[in-house]
């Protein structure tokens, strides 16, 4: 068993992120397996080196250790290009010159996955070589993967069977953006395969990305890991905890002098692994059981936080 935590260093970690890290770590350690950290910093505008240092510091403070030197995505473009070239040789990739506005206009219906915008209708799927060189003069292309038609099915270790028709819902999807950066979907597959990750545990905001990733595993002939998607931690407003929710930033709790066992107690309560009372990592490793993980989002209440941390 090899698990991982793959954060994007776009801000200080809040307790929602930390909970995913903890659960991934517990899953790996409870099985006597390895646990890796990977820095997903492809979004150069939002990622900052300081946040990477903060991340390591937060994980260390909690006692979550990792094996092997973390991969850093911004340093791995050669590897992503090599994978892209393999797909290209099989005719599974094509350049796309569409702008966002053009895709929005061409979309026949406003469906698709919210994070991806409308379904890509395949406008550039069959351009001739002459058309490609003509359009390349005025615009750098993105590159899209020809999504296989039909349903992709997999069984999530927590959420159970999941089915998605990637071609019908998302259409051909981007593996390299028009600014030259590899897409999350490609990078995550190449990296998890390179790191020989056997178990991916992450937030369920990525459940709907998994079928695309499974198509890439298949096209690259790489073995896919098992997936376990945990429902997110929401704020009292019903929206997912964000890095702006300062009260739930781990750094903030540390600064207020709270012992890690109190923080772990709260994270355990949010995971079906405790009643909120302080707990240490060895006890949680012994208690870890994926069958008790909640199937619905957890609401983080500030009052509960203050009680759990003995702050009032």
The residues annotated with a catalytic role in the active site are 243
Q: How big is the chain, counted in residues?
A: 312
Of the candidates 207, 227, 219, the residue with the CA atom closest to the CA atom of residue 148 = 219
Shortest reach from residue 114's CB to ligand GLU, in Å = 15
Q: 20 vs 271, which CB is nearer to ligand GLU?
A: 20
Shortest reach from residue 17's CB to ligand GLU, in Å = 7
Cα–Cα distance for residue pair 243/245, rounded to 1 Å: 5
Of the candidates 134, 163, 132, 135, the residue with the CA atom closest to the CA atom of residue 150 = 163
Q: 175 vs 309, which CB is nearer to ligand GLU?
A: 175
248 secondary structure, DSSP code = G
Cα–Cα distance for residue pair 305/312, rounded to 1 Å: 10
Pairing of strands 93-96, 142-145: antiparallel
Shortest reach from residue 303's CB to ligand GLU, in Å = 28
Q: Which residues contact 281 (CB under 8 A, 6 or more apart)?
A: 62, 63, 64, 264
Q: What is the DSSP string of 57-88?
A: HHHHHHT----SPPEEGGG-HHHHHHHHHHHH
DSSP lists the bridge partners of residue 153 as 163
Shortest reach from residue 127's CB to ligand GLU, in Å = 31
Q: What is the CA radius of gyration of the chain?
A: 21
Shortest reach from residue 74's CB to ligand GLU, in Å = 13
Q: 6 vs 170, which CB is nearer to ligand GLU?
A: 6
The residues binding ligand GLU (CB under 6 A) are 6-8, 40, 188, 202, 206
Q: 40 vs 58, which CB is nearer to ligand GLU?
A: 40
CB atoms inside a 10 Å sphere around CB 69: 8
Pairing of strands 199-203, 151-156: unpaired
Shortest reach from residue 91's CB to ligand GLU, in Å = 27
Element (DSSP H or E) covering residue 2: strand 2-5
231, 297 contact by CB (below 8 A): yes
Q: 107 vs 226, which CB is nearer to ligand GLU?
A: 226
Cα–Cα distance for residue pair 244/267, rounded to 1 Å: 19
Q: 135 vs 243, which CB is nearer to ligand GLU?
A: 243
């Amino acid at each position: 068993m090899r698990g991982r935590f793959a954060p994007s260093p776009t801000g200080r970690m809040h307790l929602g992120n930390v909970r995913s890290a903890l659960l991934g770590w517990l899953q790996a350690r409870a099985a006597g397996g390895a646990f890796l950290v990977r820095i997903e910093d492809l979004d150069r505008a939002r990622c900052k080196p300081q946040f990477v240092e903060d991340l390591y510091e937060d994980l260390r403070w909690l006692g979550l250790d990792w094996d092997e030197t973390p991969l850093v995505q911004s340093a791995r473009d050669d590897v992503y290009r090599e994978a892209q070239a393999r797909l290209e040789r099989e005719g599974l990739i094509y350049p796309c010159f569409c702008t966002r506005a053009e895709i929005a206009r061409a979309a026949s219906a406003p469906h698709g996955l919210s994070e991806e915008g409308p379904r890509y209708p395949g406008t550039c799927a069959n351009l001739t070589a002459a058309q490609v060189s003509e359009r390349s003069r005025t615009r750098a292309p993105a590159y899209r993967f020809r999504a296989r038609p039909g349903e992709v099915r997999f069984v999530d270790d927590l959420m159970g069977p999941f089915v998605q028709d990637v071609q019908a819902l998302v259409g051909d999807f981007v593996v390299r953006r028009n600014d030259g950066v590899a897409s999350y979907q490609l990078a995550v597959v190449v990296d998890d395969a390179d790191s020989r990750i056997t178990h991916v545990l992450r937030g369920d905001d990525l459940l709907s990305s998994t079928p695309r990733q499974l198509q890439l595993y298949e096209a690259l002939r790489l073995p896919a890991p098992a997936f376990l998607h945990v429902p997110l931690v929401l704020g009292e407003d019903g929206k997912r905890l964000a890095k702006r929710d300062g009260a739930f930033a781990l750094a903030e709790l540390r600064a207020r002098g709270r012992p890690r066992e109190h923080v772990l107690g709260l994270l355990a309560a949010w995971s079906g692994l405790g009643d909120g009372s302080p707990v240490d990592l060895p006890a949680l490793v012994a208690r870890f059981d994926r069958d008790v993980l909640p199937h619905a989002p957890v609401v983080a209440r500030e009052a509960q936080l203050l009680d759990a941390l003995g702050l009032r």
